[in-house]
Amino acid sequence: MTRSSPPPPLDLEPLLDTLARLADRTAAEGPWHSGAFAAAARHGLLATFIADRDGGTGLGEPAIVAALVAIAERCLTTALVVTQWAAAVRILAAAPADVRAALLPRLARGADPTTVGISQLTTSRRHLGRPALAAVRDGDTWRLDGLCPWVTGADSTHTIVTGAACADGDQAFFVVATDAAGLTIEPPLAMLALSGSRTSVVRFDGVRPVAMIESPTAAAARTGGLSTSALAAGAARAAVAVIAREAAVRPGLAGVAAEFAGEVDALRGRLLAAADRGIESADRDRLRADANGLVVRVAQAALTASKGAGFVAGHPVERLVRESLFFLGWSCPQAVADAFLCELTA
């Protein structure tokens, strides 16, 4: 592909086959190293998140949500990484034209991967009463000091799109090169699941950003968006598939498999409708709460159906159970967390 050739249209089925085949390697090495990220670019997935005017193919939200459900079913690590990449790209869409022209057409083709580190503005370390990452104007540029507590793929990407608190209390968004002077990427966190996402703490000591983005849309920088629920729906579908496989030889499980399959289909239908027609914030939280509840329940049902065998490291179900717990923390709005705690204590 030449520098100026347009990105390919989305070719989902072959991409899904590739991601499923690479899933074990991706879980261990991360999608940048297993070939999964390159496949996402080659089969046109990445370009779907970028508007035509910026060198992408700009697929509509419903098709994107459907693709994310299907990808999360095959490989949750890739789905997480693509979602964080897409979150960065959505903020970049509000950048000045010269920044967009320099970055977005290349990103649409899978070059110079990016990621996002904005949880310090939304869900992380908010109780500390002081900004985790501070931005100070310095002549015609800025300097960033502090940290991003969570950056997926920080050590495997070229740029981080981040947000910081300014002295006047406003928030501003920046593009930072991962090899910038003063930027330190800590070794990826060893986590309960999804360690292949290579998620790190990133420290800033007088870092000069490549660009500033004045006003991304509120939607670009919020938690609990439809993508996060789409990933939970996909993970739930993977657990339903396990129960259905067991049910093929144990008819007593058929009803359970059918019941959960119906619930996942209904959740997916609600997600697609919301992507099509738009959704109010309270309904978005309700969807995320339902998605969280379902993915946790169905993973536990899959473990119950798989019995002790599913508890042994390396069995697909023990991974699905660990991965289901990811949704209780990741990009989870406080209202959703509160509702879940309420349910658990009932």
Ligand X SMILES: Cc1cc2nc3c(=O)[nH]c(=O)nc-3n(C[C@H](O)[C@H](O)[C@H](O)COP(=O)(O)OP(=O)(O)OC[C@H]3O[C@@H](n4cnc5c(N)ncnc54)[C@H](O)[C@@H]3O)c2cc1C
Cα 83 from Cα 274, distance rounded (Å): 18
Q: Are strands 133-138 and 159-166 parallel, antiparallel or unpaired?
A: parallel
Other CB atoms within 10 A of residue 346 CB: 5
Taking each helix axis from N to C end, the angle separating 97-108 and 76-92, rounded to the nearest 10 degrees, works out to 160
According to the binding rule CB under 6 A, does residue 228 interact with ligand X? no
Cα 10 from Cα 205, distance rounded (Å): 40
According to the binding rule CB under 6 A, does residue 124 interact with ligand X? yes
Nearer to ligand X, 76 or 256 (CB): 76
**Shortest distance, position 9 Cβ to ligand X, whole Å:** 27
H or E segment at 82? helix 76-92
CB 28 within 8 A of CB 196: yes
Cα 344 from Cα 346, distance rounded (Å): 6
Cα 252 from Cα 242, distance rounded (Å): 14
According to the binding rule CB under 6 A, does residue 178 interact with ligand X? no
CA–chain centroid gap for 120, Å, is: 16
List of E strands, 167-210? 171-177, 183-185, 199-207
Q: In the set 150, 204, 260, 327, which binds ligand X (CB under 6 A)? A: 150
- Partners of 166 in the beta sheet? 135
Q: Which of 215, 106, 84, 107 minimizes the C-alpha distance to 161?
A: 84
**Shortest distance, position 163 Cβ to ligand X, whole Å:** 9
Q: In the set 329, 334, 341, 343, which binds ligand X (CB under 6 A)? A: 329
251-280 residues in contact with ligand X (CB under 6 A) are none
Stretch that binds ligand X, among 46-54, 150-158, 174-182, 233-241 (CB under 6 A): 150-158
- Partners of 184 in the beta sheet? 203
The site for ligand X, by CB under 6 A, has a size of 23
Q: What are phi and psi of 202, to 5 degrees?
A: -120, 125
Site string for ligand X, 30-69 (x = CB under 6 A): ----------------------------------------
CB 234 within 8 A of CB 73: yes
According to the binding rule CB under 6 A, does residue 167 interact with ligand X? no
According to the binding rule CB under 6 A, does residue 84 interact with ligand X? yes
According to the binding rule CB under 6 A, does residue 3 interact with ligand X? no
According to the binding rule CB under 6 A, does residue 159 interact with ligand X? no
According to the binding rule CB under 6 A, does residue 330 interact with ligand X? yes
Taking each helix axis from N to C end, the angle separating 61-74 and 226-249, rounded to the nearest 10 degrees, works out to 40
CB 8 within 8 A of CB 43: yes
Nearer to ligand X, 125 or 143 (CB): 125
Q: In the set 149, 188, 196, 216, which binds ligand X (CB under 6 A)? A: 149
Q: In the set 34, 77, 123, 306, which binds ligand X (CB under 6 A)? A: 123
**Shortest distance, position 270 Cβ to ligand X, whole Å:** 22
**Shortest distance, position 326 Cβ to ligand X, whole Å:** 6
Q: In the set 199, 200, 227, 306, which binds ligand X (CB under 6 A)? A: 199
Stretch that binds ligand X, among 37-45, 114-122, 200-208, 238-246 (CB under 6 A): 114-122
Q: In the set 59, 108, 116, 165, which binds ligand X (CB under 6 A)? A: 116
Residues that bind ligand X (CB under 6 A): 84, 115-119, 123-127, 149-152, 191, 194, 197, 199, 326, 329-331
